[in-house]
Structure 1
Amino acid sequence: MEKRYCIIMAGGTGKHFWPLSREKAPKQYIDLLGTGQTLIQDTYERMCELCPKENIFVVTINALFEITKEQLPDIPEEHILTEPTRRNTAPCIAYANEKIKKIDEEAQIIVTPSDHIIQNRQNFFEVINKGFEFIEKNDALLTIGLKPTRPETAFGYIQIEDTSDITDIIKVKNFTEKPNLELAEFFIESEEFLWNSGIFLWSLQSISNAFDKHLPELSELFEEFKSKFNTPEEAEAVQNIYSGCKNISIDYGILEKAENVYVYCGNFGWSDLGTWNTLYDCLPKDESNNIINQQNVMIYESNNSIIKVPKNKIAAIQGLDGYIVADTPDALLICKKEEEYKIRKILNDIKFKKGEDHI
């Protein structure tokens, strides 16, 4: 257990959940599920069951350091790693690897996003513990996969070499990041593909070797500045690294190229909470299939909608079918659920017409 380390990736913007999710407090820092805990707090709590608390690192951006410290007071400040700019998951993981390497070169690592839902914790823990056992004995990069239930274009897909027993750890044949709808439909029909959850396990040695082989430029940048880590010059060193590295995901940079990639298919009530529709699917509904976050909301002839308003506000909703209503003190969104993809354009319009403070 003492060799286990965790990297929580928490630098995302969560713009799909505007106006609840904002630049200063993205979705991982808000209580979207109404449980009294934010998504990152829930993730941290799960990880504490799998790793020693003192071995957990969070990687986020500079602007989110204070809110991370506030929401996760048990994490030492030196374990909250801040990026000067977003460069996707490969640099984020490489940065945390470098910090862990200073502590334990024999570390076994789990990497997880900060904003996922896990509804069956016991099943999740069983999958992750088996994953740790596998990477302790094998030079392997292990991803946690999930059996797809629909042709989803927002997820990555993993093609497996052997479909005879997906309950075991299987060699990966190919990775495909976020296919179009036609390709996603083909993947579902073929029954050779799993969803990529974005949760990974590997030894520090295995992932370091993979960076050296497949992303040598990034490895060289960290090698050049490694003497500055854990010194007052670390922030400047990280700034230099990030200004010189490209924006690249761990999937595209390493997992699509490496030959020692494996997948373990889990079944633990997972959702990446990427859209309002995925949130709608995860939460309990009333007799009219509405999700309502508080008792002061009064509903009339409305169905299949998700209503999120401040707890101190009375709201009356009449005649809506299949809508998102998300209200905050300074912004209100009313949008058809089936057209939530338009939120990106809405945010661009607000940014240019009303200013970035509203995003």
Structure 2
Amino acid sequence: MENKNQYCVIMAGGIGSRFWPMSTQKNPKQFQDILGTGRTMIQQTFDRISKLIPAENIFVITNKEYIDISHQQLPQVPLENIVGEPVMKNTAACNLYMLNKIEQKNPAANIIILPADHLILKEDIFLKKVESAFEITKENDYLITLGIKPTRPDTGYGYIQFMDKKNETYFKVKTFTEKPDLEIAKTFLESGDFLWNAGIFIWNVKSIKKAFEELLPEMTQQFSECEYNSDAENECIEKIYPKVNKISIDNGILEKAKNVYVIPADLGWSDLGTWTSVYENAAKDDNQNAFKSKHILTYNSTGTIIKLKNNNKAAIIDGLEDYIVIDTEKALLICPKDNDQLIKDYVLELKNFKKGEKFM
């Protein structure tokens, strides 16, 4: 397939506070080897998509303070393709920013948007689905999303409801629903016409630009003030970013656009959003405990994930069932897996301590 018109944007700006204490402000989870594979999350994302897209067409959008670490971890990506946002403004702003940069280089571009920190076990299927999506967006004014067949009524994901088939490959999207409660999630699963929203999007420059102009006109106007891929770009971005509305691409564009289609995909996917999802994807011993170190002994303990910063440290765990134990140089977290959604709250409270910031 001709791929000079194919581009990728890797979104890598999050702080990953649900992964505290391993994920910190200085070193968020996308730059860490969470599953112990030898490659960090952002490196795995790059490895995957670079089989389809040349490195010079791959962009990273992150926070200004993560430009250096992104460049260290992805030396193949040209430094000018690693772009830092001055402030965090959710995903609509960063998508529009990158759209303008790529359009200036190639108005015929087809772009795939990838989160930096997702796990995809079935890589071959992923690449086939992406190739299909590029074929569709090359010819049509469609905004494409990959939808994951749900395996459980998860309340942590967004859901996509689809309707009539265009063909066997993709379906028209009827509704997007952000993180439903458990009862609603159960009805979604039973109905069979809902997919998880993986946050992976494919579109051509013209289609997504038109959607921004129609649905987020003020933001489109703000970003049109800058001259992209020039010496003046940075100063202009610094000036407009504080004024830009903080909204996700899902809420701002995809929930309202009439030309959104979904490609169902069984990718062995997880957004690795919590320690429980890491536990689910980790190797486990006979007692269903997940840990890598040779110096950990467990007694009367099951279903527990244990991560030590120092693999030369010994740990003895007795009597823990379904727990998270994460030890780093600066902090120790011990909490039930059922409470993993509360880790963000723990971190906020810790910040209120005297000098609490140093643990973030």
TM-score, normalisation: structure 2: 0.96
Q: Alignment partner for residue 122 of structure 2, among 104, 120, 123? A: 120
Larger deviation, residues 294-303 vs 105-114 = 294-303
The ranges of structure 1 where at least 4 consecutive aligned residues each deviate by more than 4 angstroms after the TM superposition are 164-167
The residue number in structure 1 matching 2:112 is: 110
Q: Aligned residue for 2:40?
A: 38
Over the residues paired in the alignment, what is the CA RMSD in angstroms? Answer: 1.4
Q: In the alignment, what sits opposite 1:24?
A: 26
5+ residue gaps, structure 1, are none
Distance (whole Å) between structure 2 residues aligned to residue 167 and residue 242 of structure 1: 41
Task: Work out the number of aligned pairs and report it.
Answer: 356
1:307 is aligned to: 306
Matched, 1:131 2:130: no
Query: How many Å separate the matches in 2 of 1:177 and 1:345?
Result: 20
Q: Which amino acid aligns with 1:48?
A: S
State the distance in 2 between where 1:83 and 1:335 align.
Answer: 34
3-state SS, counterpart of residue 133 of structure 1: helix
Q: How does 1:170-189 map to 2 (within 5 A)?
A: 170-189=171-190
Residue in 1 that maps onto 2:330:
330
Structure 1 position 210 matched with structure 2 position 211: yes
Structure 1: distance between partners of 2:312 and 2:233: 44
Rounded Cα–Cα distance in structure 2 between residues aligned with 1:153 and 1:131: 27
Corresponding residue to 2:8 among 6, 9, 18: 6
Contact 1:62 1:82 in 2 (8 A): yes
Q: Determine the structure 1 residue equivalent to 2:288.
A: 289
Q: What's the counterpart of residue 148 of structure 2?
A: 146
Amino acid at match of 1:62: K
1:262 aligns with 2:261: yes
- SS of residue in 2 equivalent to 1:161: strand
Secondary structure of the equivalent of 2:352? helix
Question: Whole-Å Cα distance in 2 between the matches of residues 33 and 21 of structure 1?
Answer: 13
Cα gap change, 1:167 to 1:273, in 2 (>3 Å): farther
CA distance in 2, matches of 1:173, 1:341: 29
Q: Which position in structure 2 is the counterpart of 1:222?
A: 223
Contact 1:167-1:265 within 8 A present in 2 as well:
no
CA distance in 2, matches of 1:166, 1:188: 23
Tell me the alpha carbon deviations over residues 181-201 of structure 1, each in whole angstroms, 9 at most, x when there is no partner.
232222122222111110000
For 1:194 and 1:282, the matched residues in 2 are separated by 20
1:166 CA displacement: 9.2
In 2, Cα distance between equivalents of 1:248 and 1:272: 20
Report the equivalent of 1:201: 202
Does the CA contact (< 8 Å) of 1:106 and 1:204 recur in 2? Answer: yes
1:69 and 1:207 map into 2 onto residues whose CA distance is: 28
Aligned partners of 1:230, 1:107: CA distance in 2, in Å? 16
Contact 2:63–2:87 (CA under 8 A) maintained in structure 1: yes
Q: Which AA in structure 2 matches 1:27?
A: K
Structure 2 distance, partners of 1:50, 1:248, is 30
Confirm or deny: 8 A CA contact 1:7 1:57 kept in the other structure. Answer: yes
Structure 2 gap ranges (5+) = none
For 2:130, give the aligned amino acid.
I
SS of the aligned residue for 1:98 comes to helix
Q: Which moved more, 1:231-240 or 1:313-322?
A: 231-240
Task: Tell me, in whole angstroms, the C-alpha distance in 2 between the residues paired with 1:295 and 1:8.
Answer: 35
1:355–1:233 distance in 2 versus 1, CA, 3 Å: farther
Task: Output the amino acid matched with 1:238.
Answer: I
Shift of residue 167 of structure 1?
Answer: 5.3
**Is 1:167–1:264's contact at 8 Å kept on the other side of the alignment?**
no
Offset from partner CA, 1:102-121 (integer Å, 9 cap, x none): 21000011001000001011
The match for 1:98 among 97, 100, 109 is: 100
Q: State the partner residue of 1:157.
A: 159
Residues 26, 133 of structure 1: CA spacing in aligned structure 2 closer, same or farther, 3 A cutoff? Answer: same
**Alpha-carbon separation, structure 2, partners of 1:342 and 1:111:** 29
* Distance in 1 (alpha carbons) for counterparts of 2:230 and 2:206: 24
Aligned residue in 2 for 1:239 = 238
SS of equivalent to 2:251: helix
Q: Give me the whole-angstrom Cα distance separating, in 2, the residues matched to 1:85 and 1:202.
A: 25
Letter in structure 2 aligned against 1:98: N
Q: Does the Cα contact within 8 Å between 1:4 and 1:109 map onto a contact in 2?
A: yes
* CA distance in 2 between partners of 1:314 and 1:160 (Å): 51
Are the aligned partners of 2:166 and 2:172 in contact in 1 as well (CA < 8 Å)? no
Percent identity, aligned pairs only, is: 46
